[in-house]
Structure 1
């Protein structure tokens, strides 16, 4: 058998591929691997693979050229997922063979709905497993997930915080700055538990910090988990079974501000309170404390008003009682004055001098008034007192 030139074989393969596919686009499902992305040049190379378990069953080289490079941006905007390795995608590709570069798939479109559906199915599977395996920590009521962490009483004032975040990250800076610069002047005590919060292994690192918080036996009012920036793919650590279980059953209220605007993670669903960003997490704490202050100010105003009303009522009652007392005392003294006047008149009438003027006389013996005839003996020297003088007499 005579050998053929390599170029002849290559051109034959090119013709076969062109005849079989003819530049027609095909939809294929594959997983990304070994991505080499050049945004400044507008093209991207990668390997597409298919796996069964740990075994790779197919592998082909693929590329995105400049004219279709916008598909990466479109995909990321539609899904919130970073275009990266180890993502299963639904791709529209054109099969081509080049005698120099070999067989290659040119990607012309990426279906975001397929990726979103996969992510949602995986997320739902985790939630279903948590509900099934930990019904004491997480359950469903009226279509809503309820957890023991959500049912923890929220402290009236939140001041002592355990902060889980990446060191010197945007989320760390935003949260601390918002707390420190709050216009109400509230003070917060923040203990930092620095940790990896995204990427492979982040959920284990966060769970380790939660264990450390419990081991400290510090009476924290709340645990705050913040993460700033990053893609939806980096956000995957917060959709894991391990972190979901830890958050749902944690014995201190957990506030999550993990820096996303599009979707709600499992951690968001199961924690005590979820907000969108680290800045909003700090704002939530400030607002919570402000509401307590407002209630205190309201109660103070109520107390002041009640005190003023009570004092005014007491003052009016005192004035009324004073007037009543004055009226009573006025009448009392008037009556007593009348009584005294009457008694004075009576006394004047009973004055012996006045009685004598009315024609009466007093009989005296040795200056002693005699009132009985039996007290007079014959021969006694007596004095008869009249109104204008006295007369000496001898009794018979």
Structure 2
């Protein structure tokens, strides 16, 4: 009720606000659909309620803003539906189409009570942003830039962006470290969030760190596992995808999902479904080099054996033919003599003796000729064996020297050996120092050596 004060009709604040509450309740009694951007979700863990900040922008400027209310039961139901359909939870910065009712409270003021959110609207907007990222990368001519790089013949040194405690990184290490061929890999972890609103920025930051020491690595790998298909929208971020596309090293991805491919995976040098598959991809690169070399070595060893076997077979065949010929010749003469002896039984003993002497001489000459031929064949075969053995050993030695040379070069390039040769790394506040102008008098410098560290205070600097 109003009261009179100095001829003025006066209402209390509560009466005014109750009147506004009644007017809004009567005018906006039913819920209606609204579209807006959820600038901040404002989720409170202890209560489970959310108080989203809703905005509408035009040409980058906020033209409308309102606080909303999302009670815990509604939030739980809506969030589960989002994860099921979008593979993403409710989060900051997404556009939503929501069913709301206007409420007014004398203490808390005007608010929109969110009763439901349509995930298909948000899904369409996220897909639109994804396609826009793809279009921009293609227009800039960098969509396939990382794919056009050449991966090292033996990609041994890998910079890994992951979380040390993630299952994906654990699977990757297990496959790499326990490979059954004793292939040796060097990998260094650059820790980063792998999903959520801050993931894209952190991954970009670690890529920039790797870029500064890119000469120490053959490739960069982004490894995520154990999260399923949830939380992957950060990999559609344009800035992250652009950083991967223009990265100076081949980027390998294994972010642990098997559904819709993200933009980051599209532009990467190689996309693997899981961290395990990524590790197997690297091992296969070693196979591609090692197996042909091993097969060539085996073939070189087999050549002398095969030639010796072929020559022996030829010699055996020749000997069998020759022996058969001699046997047939001998049998023929014997049969002829037997037939002749029947007809000339009365011939003189002298004629018979001459015939026997003649036959004996022919047999003796045949045996001598056979022995000489076998001896000559053995001599030639031995010479062939010696020449092939020497050539084979030479080829094997040359291949082994080449492999040892490659291995030595790879070992010399490792960070540990670089430090061992007398080089050092100077750190200021945990960051590498390469410019004396960034150091001032009184700064504490940490110098990392092959064996130990040195802490020193800067007295002066020179260019």
Counterpart-to-counterpart distance in 2, 1:130 and 1:274: 18
CA shift at 1:75, angstroms? 1.2
Counterpart-to-counterpart distance in 2, 1:201 and 1:126: 16
Decide whether aligned partners of structure 1 residues 93 and 294 sit closer, same or farther in structure 2, where only a CA change above 3 A counts.
farther
Q: Is the 8 A contact 2:36 2:54 kept in 1?
A: no
Q: Are 1:244 and 2:251 counterparts? A: no
Please say if residues 54 and 66 of structure 2, whose CA atoms lie closer than 8 Å, have aligned partners that are also in contact: yes
CA distance in 1: counterparts of 2:107 and 2:359, whole angstroms: 146
Offset at 1:268?
A: 0.5
Specify the alignment match of 2:209 in structure 1. Answer: 209
Task: State the structure with bigger RCO (CA 8 A, min sep 6), 1 or 2.
Answer: 1
From the two aligned structures, give the one with the greater helix fraction.
2
Provide the secondary structure at the position in 2 that maps to 1:35.
coil
What are the equivalent positions in structure 2 for 1:28-47 lying under 5 Å apart? 28-33=35-40, 35-38=42-45, 41-47=47-53
Residue of structure 2 equivalent to 1:15: 22
Change in CA separation of 1:307 and 1:21 when aligned onto 2, cut-off 3 Å = farther
Please give the residue correspondences for 1:279-290 in structure 2 after superposition, counting only pairs within 5 Å.
279-286=276-283, 289=286
Q: Which residue in the other structure is 1:254 paired with?
A: 251
Task: Give 1:376's aligned residue.
Answer: none
Distance 1:338 1:55, change over 3 A: farther
CA distance in 2 between counterparts of 1:76 and 1:180 reads 35
Q: Specify which of 89, 92, 102 is matched with residue 85 of structure 1.
A: 92
Deviation at 1:332, TM superposition (A): 9.9
Q: Deviations over 1:230-256 (max 9, x none)?
A: 698964543344443343344543210
What displacement does 1:35 show?
Answer: 0.6
CA distance in 2, matches of 1:171, 1:178: 11
- Determine the C-alpha separation between the residues in 2 that align with 1:91 and 1:127: 28
- Which stretches in structure 2 are left out of the alignment for 5+ residues? 1-7, 334-352, 361-463
Q: 2:256, 2:273 within 8 Å by CA — same for their partners in 1?
A: yes
Find the aligned partners of 1:9 and 1:108 in 2 and give their Cα distance.
Answer: 28
- Give yes or no for contact 1:165–1:197 (8 Å, CA) kept in 2: yes
| Matched position secondary structure for 1:2 | strand
CA distance in 2, matches of 1:260, 1:342: 93
Would the aligned equivalents of 1:33 and 1:49 in 2 still touch at CA under 8 Å? no
Q: Does 1:269 find its partner at 2:266?
A: yes
Aligned mate of 1:59, from 54, 57, 65: 65
Determine if contact 2:88/2:233 at 8 Å carries over to the other structure.
Answer: no
Q: Matches of 2:316 and 2:236 in 1, distance apart?
A: 72
8 A Cα contact 1:160 1:188, kept in partner? no
CA contact (8 A) 2:17 2:106 kept: yes
CA shift for structure 1 position 285: 3.1
The question of whether the paired residues in 2 share the 8 Å contact of 1:193 and 1:209 is answered with no
Kindly indicate whether the alpha-carbon contact (under 8 Å) linking 2:98 and 2:118 is maintained by their aligned counterparts in 1. yes
Partner of 2:338: none
Give the structure 1 partner of residue 120 of structure 2.
113
Q: Are the aligned partners of 2:146 and 2:267 in contact in 1 as well (CA < 8 Å)?
A: yes
Moved more, 147-156 or 74-83: 147-156
Q: Report deviation, 1:22.
A: 0.6
**Within 5 A, what are the aligned runs for 1:1-396?**
1-33=8-40, 35-38=42-45, 41-52=47-58, 55-69=61-75, 70-134=77-141, 137-138=142-143, 147-152=144-149, 158-182=155-179, 184-198=180-194, 199=198, 201-216=201-216, 218=217, 220=218, 222-228=219-225, 235-250=232-247, 252-286=249-283, 289=286, 312-326=309-323, 341=357
Residue 403 (structure 2) aligns with: none
Indicate if the aligned counterparts of 2:164 and 2:189 stay in contact, CA closer than 8 A.
no
TM-superposition CA deviations, 1:163-195 (whole Å, max 9, x none): 23345544433322332244x254332231514
- Deviations 1:40-91 (Å, cap 9, x if unpaired)? 6443222222234554322222122244221122112211223222222221
- What count of residue pairs does the alignment treat as equivalent? 329
* Secondary structure class of the residue paired with 1:84: coil
1:18 is displaced (CA, Å) by: 1.5
Structure (1 or 2) with the greater strand fraction: 1
Distance change (3 Å), C-alpha of 1:308 and 1:94: farther
